[in-house]
Amino acid sequence: MVSNDLSLAASFLSSGSHRSALKLAKRMQRSSPSDPLPWNIAGICLSAMNKLPEAIAQFQRALKVDPGFTDARLNLAQTLILAGRYEQAIKAMQPIGSKDQKASFFLAQAYFRLGDMTPAETAIDHSVLLDDRFAPALNLQGLIRLAQGRECDAIAAFEAALTADPNNVETLVNISLPLARQNRHQDGHRMAERAVQLAPTHIGARLRLGTSFMEKGQFPEAEEQFLEILNLEPSNAQAIAQLSRITPRKRLAHLERSAAKALRKARKSSMDAAEIQFALSRIHDVGGDLAAAAKARQDANGTLAKLLHYDPQADSHETARILAKFPTAPAVAGQTGTSPYPIYVLGLPRSGTSLVEAMLSRAPNVETLGERAATGFLLSEHLASDDCFSSQDAEAFAKNHDALLPDMAPDTVAFVDKMPENYRYIGFLKTAFPQCKIIHVIRDPRDTALSMWKTHFSGRALNYTYDQEAMAHRFALHARMMAHWKSLFPGQILTVSYEDLATDPIGSSQAIASYCGMNWVPEMAAPEGSDAPTLTASASQIRQPVHNRSIGQWRQHKEELAPFLAALDASLWPGLTG
């Protein structure tokens, strides 16, 4: 009888009849409480029904009956991961050890979710070693490598996953962005298109395709994708956020109603709620309701400041540790005279770095690579220690840095890395690449702060932007760091102001070309004509002709910016006027 019930339960599971299988499993539990199989089956059913706490309890009961029941232990780990209980999932896997491919896979998932990349990488590499055709493990290997800044290695893992499972939509979505970051924009776009073709209702696929259209400046096509997402999921915060950037004014009233409705449904003080509030602030700004826009921004930033805490003491300590490594200008230790040479465009985010990058993208034989995270990843160990940055360290950094570069045209003479936060690493960069060019973009800090306050940045690196006093603290650290670097490298860092870029694009682009040792072309003064995709928050703005409308805009928001203005150390910003 038990055997027949198990066969019937398996049949129910395979057909997706989870309620029927659960009912049968409960009956078997009553008749055979010492048999772990019915508890495991019940857990599978409850997990499929998204009743995760109940499922976890069933798997735990199965393991209490039989601690050596591997399937139940694997199911428990998977469900704990789904429930966000990553430490417990790691503990659950310990009795299995490293011999089981799925156990290594789940371990890697748990460590990855915790942000602990070293054990995550060890576990996933072992999982792939045990079965190099298991597409989910290869896909996760790609995500882990991507999180480490190893984009080429990530792409290789995703490609292996697609070889094993050519129609895996998740992998197609995951590979699209790193391909774009490696300047393989068309390949990345095709992957996103294929994902949507295979799964038209897949939200992630349409989000990636819509974003890819935005990066290319094809805003009507992007709007079509985001609107389709709202047809599928009317409260999708990411689609609403993207639409708020590109929807024509005449259709904003409808979007505002959709956003307000989505906000009512969103969990209070959640990431989604903050995303929608930022969208509403942009809609209100365009509509001229400045008070409503300010209120929405206040709510959005307040939520994110609580979710993404900024530690000013830790930031100050890391800044001091970096500067202490470079008390004097370093001796030439890295590459000299290599081609293509790097141009680092850096400064505070929202200061005009994207505008400079767009100008450089129009110069002949220059490749723009966007905001590369490689520098921060490669320097992570040095940033965490008090050790000096030796000539051997510089040579190793340069070698690893170049290994992560995408393929470039043979006639490329220079490439542009537009990661704003690279201003923290100038000492390292000038040690490893003495021939590199560094363009420091500055802007009235009050306009910069306003632009940051209006923006929801991805990730956690810019968590100081959600608290105005934290912004003032980071701005002070930035000013002191740049003063130090400019004292060490006099005449080697070009300072360009956003105000000059906006009011005199010809003169500014000529100065940039001269500093970089390249011939100026008139197209550099018209960056809006660039066809280079933009993978940052400036994607929709950079397609507009250069204008000066945002200069001094902070004056209209004095009350909103009061905490920042009170905390700003004006002595670090000479030339500020009221």
Helix 18-31 × helix 36-48 angle, to 10° = 160
The predicted-structure confidence for 400-447, as pLDDT tens digits, reads as follows: 999 888 888 899 999 999 999 999 999 999 999 999 999 999 999 999
> CA-to-CA distance for 131 and 478, rounded, in angstroms?
48
How many Cβ atoms are within 10 Å of 181's Cβ, its own excluded? 22
Q: In 329-425, which ranges are continuous DSSP H helix? A: 353-361, 374-378, 380-383, 391-403
In angstroms, how far is the first alpha carbon of the chain from the final one? 86
**Closest residue by Cα to residue 232 from 203, 192, 197:** 203
User: Would you state the pLDDT for residue 1?
Assistant: 44
The predicted-structure confidence for 196-213, as pLDDT tens digits, reads as follows: 999 999 999 999 999 999
Task: Give the percent of the chain with pLDDT over 70.
Answer: 94
Q: Residue 577: pLDDT above 80?
A: no
Q: How confident is the model at residue 541 (pLDDT cuts 50, 70, 90)?
A: low
Torsion from C-alpha of 174, 180, 186, 191, nearest 10 degrees = 0
**Distance from chain centroid for Cα 220:** 24
The predicted-structure confidence for 261-288, as pLDDT tens digits, reads as follows: 999 999 999 999 999 999 999 999 999 9
Q: Residue 547: pLDDT above 80?
A: no
Sign of CA dihedral 241, 242, 245, 246: negative
Helix 252-265 × helix 271-287 angle, to 10° = 150
The predicted-structure confidence for 442-494, as pLDDT tens digits, reads as follows: 999 999 999 999 999 987 889 999 999 999 999 999 999 999 999 999 999 99
User: Would you state the pLDDT for residue 459?
Assistant: 77
Residues present in the chain in total? 578
User: Would you state the pLDDT for residue 149?
Assistant: 80
Helix (H) or strand (E) holding 415: strand 414-417
Tokens 């400041």 -> residue: 305
**Distance from chain centroid for Cα 291:** 30
How many Cβ atoms are within 10 Å of 322's Cβ, its own excluded? 20
SS3 assignment, position 454? coil
Name all domains of the chain by residue range, CATH numbers in brackets: 2-230 (1.25.40.10), 234-307 (no CATH), 325-547 (3.40.50.300)
Task: Report the mean per-residue pLDDT for the chain.
Answer: 91
